[in-house]
Amino acid sequence: MKKQHIEEFYKQVEQNNCNDIFALSLPMLLINKYLHNSQESFFKTKYDLLHSDIDVLAALYFANNEHTLTPTELYDATVFSSGGMTKVLKKLQERELILKQSSKKDKRSQEVSLSQKGEELIVEGIELSSKKLKDTFCVLKEKEQKELKKILQKLLFSMI
């Protein structure tokens, strides 16, 4: 989207107050699309991984100290279908980024955890990715970033 289109959008929204809610939703949608596409490109180029793969690795990394979840917990954390999750887990297991083992609590169920290689990859990816994200958000002062975090957290929690 070009700057002129965004300027025209805001002009039209100001003239027609009944569409004012779009001044909140459209920027979030466009920012999300930009962040998603730039992160997808970064992880595809650097690690040959898709966003779905990174979502699973990140979910495991941030889950707990053991970096372990059941497949059901992974569905909940990443919003994948069962079939989609199966494909992602198979790919990550083939690349030796995750391990699947029987649950310590219930031998009938499985747990998925990061392998050493997977943990190293996601840690490196987070570090490199966070540098790129900081460049994106540097237009906001520190106070504005803190306020935005609180607002987004409040909005996010209202949806679940």
Place of tokens 């002129």: 4
The answer on 139 and 100 residing in a single domain is yes
Structure tokens at 61: 């990394």
The answer on 27 and 77 residing in a single domain is no
The answer on 113 and 56 residing in a single domain is yes
137 in a structural domain: yes
Q: Which residue has the higher pLDDT, 15 or 61?
A: 61
57 in a structural domain: yes
Range of the domain at 122: 49-158
**pLDDT score, position 17:** 73
Q: pLDDT band for position 10 (50/70/90)?
A: confident
**pLDDT score, position 103:** 76
- Are 126 and 58 spatial neighbours (Cβ–Cβ below 8 Å)? yes
Distances (CA, A) of 54 to 34, 122, 128, 129: 17, 8, 13, 11
- Are 70 and 111 spatial neighbours (Cβ–Cβ below 8 Å)? yes
Q: pLDDT band for position 63 (50/70/90)?
A: very high
**pLDDT score, position 79:** 74
Strands 98-102 and 68-69: unpaired
The answer on 24 and 71 residing in a single domain is no
DSSP 119: H
The answer on 122 and 93 residing in a single domain is yes
The answer on 118 and 90 residing in a single domain is yes
The answer on 53 and 18 residing in a single domain is no
Task: Kindly report, residue by residue over 103-123, the tens digit of the pLDDT.
Answer: 777 777 889 999 999 999 999
Biggest alpha carbon–alpha carbon distance for the chain:
63
The answer on 130 and 76 residing in a single domain is yes
Return the SS3 of 110: strand
Task: Kindly report, residue by residue over 65-94, the tens digit of the pLDDT.
Answer: 999 998 888 888 887 767 788 899 999 999
The answer on 103 and 57 residing in a single domain is yes
The answer on 56 and 13 residing in a single domain is no
The answer on 67 and 30 residing in a single domain is no
Q: Does the pLDDT of residue 23 top 90, yes or no?
A: no
Please report, as a single letter, which amino acid is at residue 39: Q
The answer on 4 and 53 residing in a single domain is no
What total number of domains does the chain contain?
A: 2
Task: Kindly report, residue by residue over 42-58, the tens digit of the pLDDT.
Answer: 999 999 999 899 999 99
Of the chain, the end-to-end C-alpha distance in Å amounts to: 30
Distances (CA, A) of 17 to 6, 7, 26: 17, 16, 15
DSSP assignment of 81-109, as one string? Answer: -HHHHHHHHHHHHHTTSEEEEE-SS-TTS
